[in-house]
Each structure stands twice: as C-alpha cells, then as structure tokens.
Amino acid sequence: MKIGMGYDVHQLIPNRKLILGGVEIKYNKGLMGHSDADVLIHAINDAIIGALGLGDIGIHFPDTDIRYKNISSLILLERVIKLMKNNGYKIVNCDNILILEEPKIFSYVDLMKKTLSKTMEIDEKQINIKATTTEGLGFCGRKEGVAAQSVVLLQEI
C-alpha cells in the first residue's frame, strides 16, 4: 500500500470557465492556469504521482510545454492513471476537499464523482468530494482563488 497527498491552488479570474472535477460549474469567474486549471484534478494527480514516488504534476506536465496549453485536466488524469497502472498499482480510495467561499458545489458533487470515477476507472464509492469555506479568511475567503487537497491510497496489483 502507498499513500499520497496532493494540493493545488489557482486564482479566480473573469472571462474563464470554472472547471472542477472535470465538470463545468456555473459561476462568473474561472480559474487561471496553463491548462483548464482544474484544481481538484491537479490535486488528485499530485496525490497519485506522489504515492508512486515519481515527483509531481509539474515534472510530468510542465506549464512551459505548449502541448498542455488549455488541455483538459481529465486528459492529464488519464495519463496519470496509465502511469499508475504501468507501475503496478490501483486506487483503493481517493478523498478530496475543495476550499472555496463560492460557488456552492454540493449540487455538482455527484456529477464530479461520476466523471472522475469513469476517468480513474474506479467505482464512485471509492471517491469522496467535500467542500469547505475559510470563513472569509485568506485568499479563498476573499474569493480570490480556489484550493484543493487530495489523499489517495494505492494498492499493489
């Protein structure tokens, strides 16, 4: 068994789609980044890569590489899942938290779990997604950005 933790942050900006967990969220701002800036998937990717002891998302998908400009993070997740399988592991469970004041994401959680489980080739019951606010404190509290944390447990195949 191996455990990995991932963390990501992106700034909220106008005139950009908000994508979280591979799902477009209705909101007046989106996340700035080289890819689609999906903080949840980026955190999951980092958790898996970390559990494997293979560095981090920036090593595998550098933001200086034009191939990843505006790419869907679901594609990056597919590649990380393939990397994980090629290293002889499978996901036992994946627990995640989004840190943001708004928008409220509760109504999107089931669709996120469905989307992620399909891409990760696991059952929806193996994924948990929750959200919290920072009670107005810090950059998330000021609605300047969104953060995500992920923990994955891997098992040797």
Give the model's confidence band at 23: pLDDT under 50 very low, under 70 low, under 90 confident, else very high: very high
For the stretch 77-130, pLDDT in tens is 999 999 999 999 999 999 999 999 999 999 999 999 999 999 999 999 999 999
pLDDT at site 29: 98
Q: What is the pLDDT of residue 127?
A: 98
pLDDT score for 129:
98
Total count of domains within the chain: 1
Confidence (pTM):
0.97
* 48 CB-near residues (< 8 Å, 6+ apart): 4, 6, 80, 81, 83, 84, 91, 152, 154
State which residues form the domain around 130: 2-156
At a CB cut-off of 8 Å and minimum separation 6, what does 93 contact? 126, 127, 128, 152, 153
Q: What number is the average pLDDT over the span 3-13?
A: 98
CATH number, domain of 83, equals: 3.30.1330.50
Confidence label for 58 from pLDDT (cuts 50, 70 and 90): very high
